[in-house]
Amino acid sequence: MFRAEECKRSLIGLARDLRGVAYAFNTKTSYMMLYDWLYPNYFQILLRGIEIWYHEPALTTPILKLMCELAQNRSQRLQFDVSSPNGVLLFREISKLLVAYGSRVLSLTNIPKEQQYSMKLKGLSICFNMLKAALCGNYVNFGVIRLYGDRALDDSLEIFVKTLMSIQQSEVLVYPKLSQSYYALLECLASDHMGFISNLEPQVFLYILSTISDGLSAFDTMVSTGCCSILDNIVTFLFKKLTKKNKTGTLTGTPQVNGTADGESLVRILEMRPEILQQMLSAVLNIIMFEDCRNQWSMSRPLLALILLNEEYFGKLRTSIISNQSVDKQPAMERCFTNLMEGIECSLLSKNRDKFTQNLSVFRRDVNDSLKSETKSTTIIPTSQSNGSIDMM
């Protein structure tokens, strides 16, 4: 009976109607009336529909959007009581749906290029929004979930990684809804779940870094600002780990994730491939100096950590930029770089960050004034290095 067309049409209508109702319920009382009615029977029906009709976007899209709406903690409507298990129960249902849909979508092969978005990428973008809403909703204690051996969070993050790696990197920025949902989820993970990101497989981590590099220069300001925040969290995490390692010699005293010291995998990758962060530094500095930088404050946050992690390379970069100017412009450019690092300490404390942000504002203004009469093209990466750009990731 579940496979009948009439049942499918009824399920589509049900999902659309319930989404409208859920959107209108912005108080805890009204939302809990709907939740108590849905759990557990209707959640099972929605899950069963995804399992059977996963290849039908006409049905999967309304169901996924309904679950995404239910995961939204709009107006603090999902503030459960201390003794209530509803937050964990809701997240479990979300996790089940994510795993059911994601694992089945991965089995869809040979999808025509013109149907990639409708058949696969649209659904995944909704899943990314759903997971982001659940992770950032502040109604689930994920530490308690892991403490009691619940696999809901791990399963959700694993299916996210699997589906992400099935998406071509060139497609991430092509579709605005996909890019916005992906970078918003990544920003949430980098903010609250760096332990997960720091222990990803090398190819996954490099894929994510490469998408961040692409997103830094995106036309969508929301995307580029999000990428700055993601990169800032990553390099700040790395700076703290390396500082601690230099003091103790090992990453002792850090939490264990899957038997590995939290952050050890990330540190090892970037110690073996220092050119990755060097190219990030070049990219951010290039945007600030020579492009129409619409989010200068956001760009300044990861830039300080990148400079502190790559002091020697930054010195070479500075020399290269100055030497690429005309002779009469070189002293002015050298003063710009001197003033940029004036009063900056080797730390990421808020006071030091704010000082650097102020210096960077003056630096960009002075550089623009200096380059106004410059006629020759200036590039931040020396010609010998231009072929080995971020694409090498």
Check pLDDT > 60 for residue 381: no
Among all chains, which residue has been given the structure tokens 């899950």? Answer: 47
Q: Which class for 195: exposed (0-12), middle (13-18), buried (19 or more C-beta within 10 A)?
A: middle
Q: What letter represents residue 390's amino acid?
A: I
Its pTM surpasses 0.85: yes
Q: Give the per-residue pLDDT at 248.
A: 61
Q: Distance between CA 384 and CA 351 in Å, rounded?
A: 37
pLDDT tens, 120-131? 999 999 999 999
- pLDDT of 256 reads 43
Q: How far apart are CA 241 and CA 235, in angstroms?
A: 10
Q: What is the mean pLDDT of residues 217-246?
A: 90
DSSP 115: G
What CA–CA distances, in Å, run from 262 to 146, 197, 265, 267, 392?
15, 10, 8, 10, 27
Q: Tell me if residue 72 falls in helix, strand or coil.
A: coil
Of 59-73, 101-115, 121-135, 257-271, the one with minimum mean pLDDT is 257-271
pLDDT at residue number 138: 92
The pLDDT score that the predictor gives to residue 374 is 55
Does the structure show a pLDDT above 50 at 184?
yes
pLDDT, one tens digit per residue, over 306-356 is 999 999 999 999 999 999 888 888 899 999 999 999 999 999 999 999 999
